Structure formats: structure tokens, C-alpha cells
Structure 1
Amino acid sequence: MSAPPGAGIALTAETTLGAALAAIAARLAEAGIEEPRREARLLLAAAIDTDLAALIARESMPLGGRAGAVEAMLRRRLAREPLSRILGRREFHGLGFRLNAATLDPRPDTETLVDAVLAAIDAGGGRSAALSILDLGTGSGAILLALLHLLPAARGLGVDLAPEALAMAAENAAALGLAARARFMQGDLFEGLGAARFDILVSNPPYIETAVLAALDPEVRDHDPRLALDGGADGLAFYRRIAAGAGAHLRPGGLVALEIGRGQAMPVAAMLAAAGITDIATRRDLGGITRVVLGRVAMPAAGG
């Protein structure tokens, strides 16, 4: 099988941006990377420190002294380092988030969790209420900060075990102008919360079975923190703990919304129901996979 056009082109100072774009896309395609043209544009724009519009307008401009930087970034991607890790940032729910080695790379599937929470809030009276949000395993802060961005009177607390992740989440909050409404705390799920109660609990906990970790795509296995992936022998260890503590940390009528993996909807829903969570529902992601389980803490009986 012949190589894609441009696969053998070496990137030199004389290579034009247009030729470099074609060569990068060809080498990415040859390596089996999806959407090679899109990734080539993003990689090249980042390497030469320009935006996509300028990249297109300057196709005849040579790489010059940036050739080495472009080649270095391309080699990292060909080694299956995710583009988001190379760029150090990821767009999530229309917002830009910086990443570091301690943060999970937020995927588009997780936007389903944010959308499910927003739909529940809209159904319950709108987005102007002064809600309090708890995000367990906050990582980069993507879920919490996306919600705060769209809920102007809400405040939130993000909890994570990794201090490096918390530092990154705080930086993202500041960059997005949300630092005044977001706090971050080191802890193991509910550890250190005392008697604090919230209106909303969200989490994208580790849910990969331990035995499956080695078979994950290298972009995930080698670059996402194991702490954010390993859900124990059956992938459900963190859901058990969250279900057990949700009622003590949510106000009556409070909402719990959890991202889940493929095939985990029924056992997670059963855990929540056994813990007294009612009105349990699920939401599918754009790929048709059930991605979110959510429910509410029961309200006290009238006169109770």
C-alpha cells in the first residue's frame, strides 16, 4: 500500500505552511490517527503560534525557524500522545481549559453530564437560583466551571485527591473569570466536608475496570492519570461510595448526576435507589451510549 501524498516530505525552514499542512496530515493519516487534516491544522497553528485563519491566509509562507518545533510536536502526536496534551488545553462545552499530567482530559461525552444537569435545573425553575454545586474528582474543573459559567448565581466546590489537579482547576477558574464562585479542596470524595450540604452533586469518577486498563488506547492509557481511570475490579468502586454519601451531603430534593461507562447504568441506578435516591433517570451521549445516571434526594413527607 502506497503512503499518502506528502508522507515522506521532510519539514525544513523552506517548507511552506501549505506544504507542511499537507505533509503533517499525510503522516497522521499513515499512522491511523482519525481526522488527520483537522489535527494537522491545530498542531501546525499551535507550533507556529498563530490562529487557524492566519494559517490559511499564509499558506505560501515558509516555516523558517519554527520547522524544528513543528517536527517535534508532530513526533509526539505520532507517538500517540493526545493532541490536547501536546497543546496543553482542551475545549469543553465551549470553554477553554488548561490541562496538566494530574488532570483527566475532558472528553465531549462528558458534556452530556453538564447538559443533563442543566435540563434538570431548567425543569425545576430555571438557572437564576443561588445553587450550590459539589464536584467530586474535579480534575481540571471542567464540569464544575462549565456549570458555573451557565448558572450565574451558583457557587461550587471541587474536590480532588491530587494537589496538582486542584492547582490547575484554580487556574482555569481564574482564567474564565469564575474564581469568586469556585472553591477547590483536597480530599477523598466526601472526606473533610463535615456536615456541608449542596443542591447538586456531580461527578465523573474513575469507572474503568482495573483489568481493562492495559488494553485502553495509548492516548488514554499512557497519558490520563491512572488515579482518574481505575474504578476497581468491577469499575464500580467509586459509585458505591458516592451513593452511600450522597444523601448526607445533598439537601432534600437535591440532584445527583454521575457519568458512567458502557453497561454501568443498571448497577449504578440500583446503588442510588438503595441509598434513597428517587426519580432516577438516564441520559445518552451523542453516540447513543447511556452516559449519565441522575436522581434526587427524596423530599420530606408532608407534615413529617
Structure 2
Amino acid sequence: MKQRIFTLRQTIEEGTEALREAGIEEAALDAWYLLEYTAGISRAAYYADPYRELDEGLALKYLGYIERRKKRIPLQHITKEQEFMGYSFYVNEHVLIPRQDTETLVEEAVELIREKQREASQRGSKSVFGENTSDGRLQVLDMCTGSGCILVSILKMCPEIQGKGCDISKDALEVARKNAERLDVKAEWVQSDLFTEFVENKPQFDVIVSNPPYIPTIDIEELQPEVRIHDPRIALDGKEDGLYFYRRMIEDSIFHIKTGGSLLFEIGFNQGEDVKGLMKNYGYENVEIKKDLSGLDRVVTGIYNGG
């Protein structure tokens, strides 16, 4: 049987056309990413010699990935990687794929942490929010941590803090641990249904950050197949009105956050005022809604006043 000859150009064109026919919106981009992932071909190398022959085994492997992508399996589930905050994270079917929108939450948390550290330094205090901070370091909790991308990114940019990530999913926590090792940060990971496994007798955290499930159940069926079918539903479903987890976390957070501590949430674009109201009802002050780069409400922050 005559061996088929694959050139780089022919292979990428075949992959792009197959994805386009399958209705993949960014067919050309996904086809390129998969070629880069399969063969390690940079754009510079491709354009320098687009008619270079590609090893048949690599070409067939590439076309196999194209077939998977045609079935609306997310690109990140094929490559097992997603960039977030400039870092490369491992992902799989057990975690929500990190999205650029969530970078707004990380940026707000890092800005807040650094501001409080500057204030503490000016005061000559070991602790940012009080004398009961362990080792004089800020204690940060990432609730519903998933892949760990939020906490790990914060720890990369603020390595002097102590971080703890919590999730109900054991499989998600394994991914988070792998990402902490991958990016060389130390964190503690706790399997818990929100705060149920936290039994500290005194408030423990200076900062609590979370990107909880917030999509109303009825809206999930309207999502793209890549999200609806392949992202873990437990990471998407915010129950009837999308606010279920905000209510639970805000109500319970007051037993775990120090006076003067900060609570930060990612929200859906139309949930800002509702979450803001919930936080104010439980003693949070200076509650603000922050927008993302698209101008949509994305993050709510507030400071706990102790009751």
C-alpha cells in the first residue's frame, strides 16, 4: 500500500476544513493549536517551510485529534492545558476550564492583598488584619477551587501568603494539587462541601475568594456543547436562580473570616446587585461591583465589619 505524503500546509488545511464543516467557530485557530501540540511546530517554522513533509504517524495522530474536536470535545481536554494569568495549567474533564473572565477576580484579589501588605508594612505590624494571623502571614481561602487556577495564580504573585483551596470534588482537588506542583507553589487542599469541614473556633481567613457555580439550572441547556456536555455540571449549576452558592457561602463566611477581612466573588453579568445585597445583609461593608475587560459586571468585593 502506497504511503501517503503529508506536508505541513496540506495537513493544517485538511484539519481546518474538517473543523469548519463541523461548525467549530474558530476552526483555523483550533487546527493550528492542535498541530502545534502534536508536532511541536512553531508558526515561524511553519511559514519558513510550509511544504515540509510531516511524519505520517504525527499526521495521523493530528487528524485523530481533529476528529475528537469535531465531536465538540474542548480543545483543552485534548491538549490537557489552558493558559491563565500567563501560567500553563493542567486541566481535564473533572474541572472547569479556566477562562479569561476569571482573571479579573485574581487581579482584584492580588491588588487587595498587596494593598493590605503595604499598609501593614507602614504600620510595622506582622499581621495585616490582626495579631491572630498564623506566622504573621495572610491567610487566603479559595472556595470551589476546581483546577486551583485562582489560588495558584495568587500564590505565584503573592508568595508570602498562606493559601488553602477547598472543593467538594476529590477529582478536582487532584488536579489542583497537580497544578500547585507544576507551578511550584505550596498550598493546602481540603475536600469539603463549602465550609462544612471547617471547624475552627475562631475566624481563620483574611481573604476568601470564590468562583462558585452560578448559572441557573434552566440556562445550562442553552450553553455551547463544549461547556454543557464536557464541563463538570457540578461546577456550573447554581440551582434555580444561580444564587444558591452565594447565599450559603455569604451566610457561613462570617464564622470563618476575620473582622476587616475581604470576600471576593466572581459573578454572572446580571448578578451583581443581588450578590451585593446579600453581602450587605450579613455585615459586609464597602461592597463594590467590578467590571471585566468587556465592561460587564464580573466581581463583587466587600469587607467584613464583624457583625
Query: Would you call these one fold, judging by a TM-score over 0.5?
Result: yes
Q: Deviation above 3 Å: which 4+ runs of structure 1? A: 29-32, 49-58, 122-129
1:121: which partner in 2?
113
2:305: which partner in 1?
298
Which structure 2 segments of 5+ residues have no match? 122-127, 129-136
1:36: which partner in 2?
27
Task: Note the 1:140-151 alignment, pairs <5 A.
Answer: 140-151=147-158
Q: Counterparts of 1:255 and 1:49 in 2: how far apart (Å)? A: 43
Task: Note the 1:35-74 alignment, pairs <5 A.
Answer: 35-63=26-54, 64-74=56-66
Q: Counterparts of 1:115 and 1:262 in 2: how far apart (Å)? A: 18
Give the conservation status (yes or no) of the 8 Å contact 1:42–1:52: no
- 1:229-253 deviations in Å (ceiling 9; x for gaps): 1111111100000110111111111
Residue 194 (structure 1) aligned with residue 186 (structure 2): no
Which structure 1 segments of 5+ residues have no match? 1-11
1:50 to partner: Cα distance: 4.6
Q: Counterparts of 2:30 and 2:92 in 1: how far apart (Å)? A: 20
1:26 to partner: Cα distance: 3.0
Among residues 237, 245, 248, which one is paired with 2:255 in the alignment?
248
2:18: which partner in 1?
27
Among residues 182, 207, 211, which one is paired with 1:204 in the alignment?
211
1:214 to partner: Cα distance: 1.5
- 1:108-159 deviations in Å (ceiling 9; x for gaps): 0000100111222344344997321101111110000000000020111111
The number of residue pairs the alignment matches comes to 287
Q: Counterparts of 2:180 and 2:114 in 1: how far apart (Å)? A: 24
1:110: which partner in 2?
102
Give the conservation status (yes or no) of the 8 Å contact 1:156–1:183: yes
Residues 50/170 of structure 1: CA separation in 2 closer, same or farther (3 Å cut): farther
2:278: which partner in 1?
271
SS at match of 2:265: strand
Give the conservation status (yes or no) of the 8 Å contact 2:206–2:261: yes
- 1:56-111 deviations in Å (ceiling 9; x for gaps): 44532323212221111111111111111111111110111111221111110000
Give the conservation status (yes or no) of the 8 Å contact 1:13–1:67: no
TM-score by structure 2 length?
0.88
1:21 to partner: Cα distance: 1.6
Q: Counterparts of 2:42 and 2:139 in 1: how far apart (Å)? A: 37
SS at match of 2:53: coil
1:188 to partner: Cα distance: 0.5
Q: Counterparts of 2:157 and 2:190 in 1: how far apart (Å)? A: 22
TM-score by structure 1 length?
0.88
Deviates more, 1:236-245 or 1:281-290: 281-290
What is the percentage of aligned positions where both structures have the same residue?
39
Please tell me the residue identity of whatever aligns with 1:183: E
Residues 209/98 of structure 1: CA separation in 2 closer, same or farther (3 Å cut): same
